[in-house]
Amino acid sequence: MDTAKTFRSSNRTAVQSNSVLGRYLVVESAAKANDLLVEELPFVHGPKCNGPTVCLECYAPVKCDSSAAEHQRCVACKWPLCVNCSEAGAVFHCRWECAVFCEARVKFFPLQSDANGCPQLDCVTPLRVLLAKESDPERWEREIAPMEYHNEERRQLSDIWNADFINIAQYLRGPCRLADRFSEDLIMQVVGILEVNAFEARTPQGHTLRCLYPITGILAHNCVPNTFRTIHPSEGYKIRLRAMCDLGEGQQLQHSYTYTLNGTAQRQEHLKTGKFFTCECKRCKDPTELGTNFSTFKCSKCEDGWLLPTDPLDSTCDWKCTLCTFKTSNNAIQKALSVIQSEVATIQAMEPSPQKLQETEKLMRKYRVVLHPQHFVQIGLRQSLIEMYGRVAEYELAELPDVMLEHKEGLCRLVLRVLEVFEPGLSRTRAMMLYELHVPLVLLAKSGFIAGVLSAEALKQKLLDVIALLKECVDILQYEDPETQEGNLCKVAQQAMEQLTQSVEGLTGDE
């Protein structure tokens, strides 16, 4: 394999390249779980493509139609800004695109409905990249220009390519009067770089945006990642990449470009259409997905057989039973799955309510005769139930009987079992699941003690076990931005851990 080190990205990592992967990161010296590997600010950040009308400073949704107040727009260029950012001066917006829009006198035209996105805003983040290139050409050449952008593959998706060409390249060169500064090829290169390499981030208020990180953006993909990242909006969307588990010297750093709790066919489709490659990691090549049976169907012809793809990377392969001679086509499996997912989507679209919880339970029972218990559809339904038990009317924590608390405990443990395979080590999703698990465990322990089933010593041990779970949760989330949802959960978990510790000390004192 042709490998060459191109530059050192930090004191812990280096960039290497080969003909298969292009550029990728390796850890130069052995690292422990949680060790900081990369820390960097984004080259730029900006609104997502195909998104709604948002404030160009804080990314909050705004209305710019005739019914909206005038101060929902920038005073200078009249493009979208929320009230707070308009009054505060919108420093970031004014630093980048505002002057371009003012000089060209290009108007923002609000849509009556932006349910399908606001095409006029698609140009903003590419424009910020182009302006950053002008302000720091050396950094562009060194860190951004070498990024993959897959022009030829993107051209084949003609509808998307044509929309980007019209809404971004022609718009910037035409109405925005930038034809003498940026060529069509350069603009489409930037569009591709963002599409292939940008990360989604969230503001403290939960609004989405995308960020382009020169170093973290070249991480190799694996459906079982060995790193995790935290993005800190309070520090200018600085990203910190840490080891998810212990890493050996020279080991390749990997993260997942797709959702790890999707099945192989779904992950492959996302990677092919969005990242333009086929993943050939161990998980993708294994019909059982590392023994989890995460995409496995129940055989309809025998009692205990399971249907597995003969070649998970081949969309035309047959699926065969592990016990009998029955086989079916991948097309038939995907059609069945499509019907199931449509039914799930209908229920998931409901607002949290007792009815949604009950319908979710019905679906999970219904699919037991069709899907493996650890199939990703079943895992998704369990995650939905975990979020609802204790939070919706008629199923609040104080009202849940022990049998339902035990049910929630079982749901959490099954999801954790899958996460141990797909996100081994310090996984953010694992931390959130540990927090969900601690609640039924505490309530069941106290219930058992009150009923006389548990002794004080047994209660103490169970609470110590819960404290250990919460400690792991805090250890994982301690590096999150305090203003984010995950950072807030870390505080809550820390408080719960301290309260339980006091309870245990009280039990010890009684003795």
> Residue 139 corresponds to which amino acid?
R
Q: Which of 388, 409, 425 is the last residue of a domain?
A: 388
What was the pLDDT predicted at 274?
A: 86
Look at the chain and report how many structural domains it folds into.
4
Q: For 201-240, how does the pLDDT look when each residue is reduced to its tens digit (9 = 90+)?
A: 999 889 999 999 999 999 999 999 999 999 999 999 999 9
Q: Are residues 38 and 57 both part of a single domain?
A: no
On whether both 162 and 226 belong to a single domain, the answer is no
Q: For residue 503, is it within any domain? A: yes
- Angle 157-161-164 from CA coordinates, rounded to 5°: 150
76 found inside a domain: yes
Please indicate, yes or no, if residue 227 is contained in any of the structural domains: yes
User: Which residues have C-beta within 8 Å of that of residue 7, sequence separation ≥ 6?
Assistant: 14, 15, 142
Task: Tell me what pLDDT residue 324 has.
Answer: 96
Q: Are residues 242 and 294 in the same domain?
A: no
Q: For the segment 315-362, what is each residue's pLDDT rounded down to a tens digit?
A: 999 999 999 999 999 999 999 999 999 999 999 999 999 999 999 999
Q: Is 266 domain-assigned? A: no
pLDDT value for 86: 86
Q: Residue 120: CB partners within 8 Å, gap ≥ 6?
A: 108, 109, 167, 171
pLDDT at res. 122: 96
Continuous H helices in 280-325: 282-285
The pLDDT confidence band at residue 7, using thresholds 50, 70 and 90, is: very low
Collapsing DSSP to helix, strand or coil, 402 comes out as helix
Strand partners, 506: none
51 and 156 co-located in one domain: yes
> Pick from 182, 211, 240: which residue ends a domain?
211
Q: Are residue 411 and residue 469 in the same domain, yes or no?
A: yes
Report CA torsion sign: 144, 146, 148, 150.
positive
Are 59 and 207 spatial neighbours (Cβ–Cβ below 8 Å)?
yes
Q: Which domain holds residue 149?
A: 45-211
The answer to whether 38 touches 215, Cβ cutoff 8 Å, is yes
Residue 264 inside a domain? The answer is: no
CATH number assigned to the domain comprising residue 233: 2.170.270.10
Per-residue pLDDT tens over the stretch 13-37: 998 888 777 889 999 999 999 999 9
Q: How confident is the model at residue 159 (pLDDT cuts 50, 70, 90)?
A: confident
- Residue 420 pLDDT > 70: yes
Task: Indicate if the pLDDT at residue 381 is higher than 70.
Answer: yes
Residue 116: per-residue pLDDT: 78
In-domain check, residue 260: no
Q: Are 422 and 503 found together in one domain?
A: yes
Contact yes or no for 239/218 (Cβ under 8 A): no
* Structure-block tokens of residue 343: 């039914």
Mean residue pLDDT across the chain: 92
Q: Which of 35, 16, 33, 34 has its CA nearest to residue 24?
A: 16
Lowest mean pLDDT among 306-315, 347-356, 476-485: 476-485
User: Do residues 63 and 35 share a domain?
Assistant: no
Residue 12 confidence (pLDDT) = 86
**Phi, psi values for residue 390, rounded to 5°:** 100, -5
183 and 206 within one domain:
yes
Q: Are residues 241 and 291 in the same domain?
A: no
Judgement on whether residues 49 and 169 belong to the same structural domain of the protein:
yes
Check residue 115 and give its pLDDT: 73
Residue 269: band (very low, low, confident or very high) from pLDDT cuts 50, 70, 90: very high
Report the distance separating Cα 42 and Cα 130, nearest Å: 14
Residues 405, 376 share a domain: no
pLDDT band at 63 (very low <50, low <70, confident <90, very high): confident
The answer as to whether 119 is a domain residue is yes
pLDDT tens for residues 394-412?
A: 999 889 999 999 999 999 9
Express as a percent the part of the chain with pLDDT over 90.
83
Q: Is residue 270 part of a domain?
A: no
Last residue of a domain, one of 211, 231, 266: 211
Which pLDDT score, from 0 to 100, does residue 69 have? 53
Q: What's residue 6's pLDDT?
A: 39
- For residue 304, pLDDT over 50 is answered with yes
Q: Let me know whether 422 and 315 are in one domain.
A: no
Measured on CA atoms in the order 64, 68, 74, 75, is the torsion positive or negative?
A: positive
